[in-house]
Structure formats: C-alpha cells, structure tokens
Amino acid sequence: MDLFLPESGLVIWMLIAFVIVLIILAKAGWPMIMGAVEKRNAHISDSLLAAEEANNALAGIEQKRQETMAAAQAEQIKIMKESQDLKTQLIEEAKTQARQEAEKIVADARLKIEKEQAEAMANIKNEVIALSVDIAEKLLQRELSDKSSQNAYIEQLLKNNPPRIEA
C-alpha cells in the first residue's frame, strides 16, 4: 500500500509544479485559447449573419423571380390577345375584300349579260329588217297583179325562210 500513499515532500513538490504550470498556462495558454475560442465564436456569428443575409437576399431574388414570371405571363397573355385580335381583323378584312370582289364580278357579269342582250336584240332587229327588205325586194321583183297571189307568195317565203329569233 505504500505505493498508493505518497510522501508529504513529494506532494508539496507536485503541488508546486502544478501551480507553476497553472500560472504559465494562465499567463500564456489561456489567453491564446480564449482568444481562439472568441475568434471562433465571432466567425460563427459572422457566418450566421451572412447566412441570414444570404437567405434574405435569396428570398428577395425569389420574390423578384415570381414578379418577373408574373410579368412575363401577363405579357404573354397580352401578346396572345393581340395576335388573336389581329387574326380576327385579318379574317374580317379578307371577308370584306372577297365580298367586294364577288360584288364586282356579279356587277361585271350583269353588264356583260345586258350588253349581250342588247347585241342579241340588235341582231334580231337587223335580221328582221334584212328579212323584211328581202321579202319586199322579192315582192317588187315579181310583178304581181292581184292581192291573193301576193299573200300566197309571202306565206310561201315565210315557210321557206322562217324568222330566226335569238335570245
């Protein structure tokens, strides 16, 4: 048991050595250790503040992104509406132009029909006149003495050359 019971002189020297180490550590070691711990605490605090600022900045950026997306969607809707309006306007203009062209074609056709009718009527009149002159000429060439023979001759000419009427 003597091993576990130290002598009093040894205890005093151990105590003196412990106090000297304690004083050296208190003067040189503890301030360095405490400085490093405080420096580490300051760095952690600064890092936490920087992280919080980064989170706030990120939240601001996210809000700006959402605002930008909303503005882009509004612009897209506006462009789609404008293109739809333009499409409708172009269709209406095309319909109006087609209607005007159709009316012009119909008017031209009516004028052509009227012109052809007038030409047909003029041709009919000319043929009637020519036929009348021809009949009169043939009547005059033939010197007929009585009225009954003249009428018979006119009927014969009409049977042989019926009048042509073109519509």
Task: With beta carbons less than 8 A apart as the criterion, state whether 165 and 124 touch.
Answer: yes
The whole-number pLDDT of residue 134 equals: 81
Q: Residue 62 belongs to what H/E stretch?
A: helix 30-141
Cβ burial of 105 (10 Å; 0-12, 13-18, 19+) is exposed
The predicted pLDDT at position 118 comes to 92
Place of tokens 């997306």: 69
Residue 154's pLDDT is: 75
Of the pLDDT bands very low, low, confident and very high (cuts 50, 70, 90), residue 130 is: confident
* 135 Cβ contact list (under 8 Å, min separation 6): 154, 157
Contact indicator for 153, 144 with CB cutoff of 8 Å: yes
Of all residues in the chain, the percent with pLDDT exceeding 70 is: 88
pLDDT reading at 22 higher than 60: yes
Interval 106-119: pLDDT, tens: 999 999 999 999 99
Tens digits of residue pLDDT in 59-101: 999 999 999 999 999 999 999 999 999 999 999 999 999 999 9
Q: Which of 18-22, 74-78, 92-96, 135-139 has the lowest mean pLDDT?
A: 135-139
Give percent of the chain above pLDDT 90: 56
Q: What is the pLDDT of residue 152?
A: 76
Q: Which two tokens stand for residue 28?
A: 């040189």
pTM for this model (two decimals): 0.41
Q: How far is CA 120 from CA 58, 110, 115, 123, 158, in A?
A: 91, 15, 9, 5, 21
Report the 10 Å Cβ neighbour count for 120. 13
Give the other-Cβ count within 10 Å of 124's Cβ.
15
Residues whose CB is less than 8 angstroms from the CB of residue 138 and which lie 6 or more positions away in sequence, other chains included = 153, 157
Which of 11-15, 102-106, 108-112, 160-164 is least confident?
160-164
